[in-house]
Chains A and B, each alone.
Chain A
Amino acid sequence: MSELAGASGRAGRPNQSETSPRARRRRYLLPFALVLPIVLYEGLLIVYPIAQGIYGSFTRIELASKNPPVWVGWDNYERMFSDPAFWKVIQTTLLFTALVIVVALSVGLFTALLFNRPFHFRPVARGMLMMPWAIPEVPVVMIFIWILSPQFGVVNILARLLPGVTQNPQWLQVPELAMGWMVLISSWKAFPFYSLVILAALQAIPQELYEAAKVDGANPLQLFWRITIPSIGTTLELLVVLAAIFSFKQFTIIFLMTGGGPSGATETIVIRIFNTAFRFYDYSYATALGVAGFVVSLVVAFFFILMQARRTQEAA
């Protein structure tokens, strides 16, 4: 990697007139002194707990007793890999993440293309579009619990229009429906952000490209596939990775709406870790699951860094 994209600030200033060795040493040490508090802070609150978690995954922890953790080697991992429930959780996580990426990015792309065209009241409509993104997750959960209420939920009005539906469905009690709603709600919350980023990329496409292609007789579909998509390609790739990270992290909406149920249908790994630790009090097994999640997110983060470096290089 030539230079990490985000860190490519402006070049240092030449012609520093100070020459005394002390001043030079001070200048040399200054950046380290500046970032030291941050590295210490993040080290203490993020890196150290992760290291503790990795260590803990090789032990048996009993929080109720004051006994120190007992070293058990690979036991927790052997249990994890031979546990069918673990593989089901992995499946659910992949399904949820993939569906949210597809739904949220498609809607984001569609709305960005729509809002890239001039029309009256565009600022007002755009403000409305950003609303789901700005609302905190807990109220989002409250809204949808109410909307999906089998008794009085307003969504049932729509459902009743479908042929064969004579009763209000138990939206969160049927596995497929519950998963569908988790995906829809997470996508509803996330798509405005993607839309905003895609819109910025669309507005950076030079108009001359389109005009030249139109002169050559290209139709709108060709304009879209030959100019629009390639021009925002790196942005879309970056967003796919970012959407993977965000949906992999999604906790609050699923946890508060279904808790992972019904019968594990919406239990992603993040929910599983929580349930294992704080409902079954199986801390050591939960830390092993946490390490599995950590490895996955490191891999995805690596892809993000690659994409981001590529995108910044192109922009430069």
Chain B
Amino acid sequence: MATLETDTSATLRKQTPRRILGSIGLYLTVAVVSLVTIFPVYWMMISAFQPSKYIMHFPPPLLPQELTFYQFAELFGERPVALWLRNSFLIATMTMLLCMALSVLGAYALSSLRWTGRNLFGLFLLITQMLPEILILIPLFVIYRRLNMLNSLLSLALIDAAFILPICIWILKGVFDNVPPEVLDASVVDGCTELGALWRIVLPLSAPGLAAVAVVAFFFAWNEYLYAGIMLSSGQYMPASVGLSTLKAIAQTPVEQYMAAGLVFSVLPVAFYLSMQRYIVSGLTAGAVKG
């Protein structure tokens, strides 16, 4: 972002009154937009970290009055949050492994090989990716029930992976496209087969892309609510997304505990999504936007 910095300082150096007014306006607008955008998240943190006597009051104070942490201990002590998180973690890990293995194959076929049917395969992926998840829920529920596959973490991971796989393939294809063709050519001249080139050259050069695929697949399954709620009806398999939705604010759960639960659940996805946003954008638009 070197150009950006010079831009900024150049703009700030020439200070005519109109320019100063304009930049005050710009900073004010940015401040207002950022505040409005971030406020709900800020409010979650405010409500999670202080005792509810402050927040259960109308109008509530907008700034934190006191910092406490007991609610996190209470949350894990009084609710099966650890079990929920463990289930989510297992489902997400299985989804991630499946997607990583399959997306490497698909991305290589889309990016580096030329074959009739490549466009058709791309179309197939696009359409699967555009369908609302609910359309498959009822028939799949009937099928899973007949095969006795309900209430199994693996069954849920299988369907989660099916939904997120096309996006993973687009992400990885974008990354494979960036491997210089000369490097591949050299490897073929050296007697490498196509698969050997994938394994020894393309994959090691695409580590960040693989990491992006892992993040996207893992947190898709981590966040997923609809299928988890229907397929895992028994409490012992309940993942965190469903478990959280069973908590009712004020009625049964103290607000600071309720918001603490939301916070615990969000920390990992937020951190990883923000660090991988460029890749995810390219995947969600099926490669139309490089991000």
Contacts and interface: CB of A to CB of B under 8 A. Distances in A.
Asked if chains A and B come from one complex, the reply is yes
B241 A138 contact: yes
Interface stretch (B13-21, B57-65, B70-78, B204-212): B57-65
A142 B225 contact: no
A3 B117 CA distance: 11
A293 interface: yes
A217 interface: no
B259 A146 contact: yes
A9 B139 contact: no
A10 B285 CA distance: 19
A63 B142 contact: yes
A240 to B, nearest CB: 13
A251 B288 contact: no
- The binding surface of chain A is classed by DSSP as helix
Interface string A136-161: 11111111111101011010110010
Given A125-B34, A132-B37, A132-B41, A6 B139 contact: no
A283 to B, nearest CB: 6
A266 to B, nearest CB: 15
Given A138-B265, A145-B249, A188-B37, A49 B143 contact: yes
B281 A144 contact: no
Contacts of B125: 6, 42
Interface in B21-68: 23, 26-27, 29-30, 33-34, 37-38, 40-41, 43-44, 47, 55-60, 62
Interface string A187-217: 0100011001100110000000000000000
B84 to A, nearest CB: 11
Given A117-B26, A134-B269, A147-B43, A13 B181 contact: yes
Give the 7 A-B residue pairs with the shortest CB-CB distance, closest first. A7-B122, A12-B114, A139-B262, A301-B130, A136-B223, A45-B162, A134-B273
Interface of B: 1, 4, 7-8, 11, 23, 26-27, 29-30, 33-34, 37-38, 40-41, 43-44, 47, 55-60, 62, 102, 105-106, 108-115, 117-119, 121-128, 130-143, 145, 158-159, 161-163, 165-166, 169-170, 173, 176-177, 181, 184-185, 188-189, 194-195, 219, 222-223, 225-226, 230, 241, 244-245, 247, 249-250, 255, 258-259, 261-263, 265-266, 269-270, 273-274, 277, 281, 284-291
Given A56-B138, A131-B41, A278-B230, 13 more contacts: A38-B169, A41-B102, A42-B128, A46-B128, A50-B136, A138-B223, A143-B43, A147-B43, A152-B250, A242-B285, A256-B225, A270-B132, A294-B131
Interface of A: 3-7, 9-13, 16-17, 27-28, 30-32, 34-35, 37-39, 41-42, 45-50, 52-53, 56, 61, 63, 110-111, 114-115, 117-120, 122-123, 125, 127-147, 149, 151-152, 154, 156-157, 160, 168, 188, 192-193, 196-197, 200-201, 235, 238, 242, 245, 248-249, 251-252, 255-256, 270, 273-274, 277-278, 283, 286-287, 290, 293-294, 297-298, 300-301, 304-305, 308, 311-312
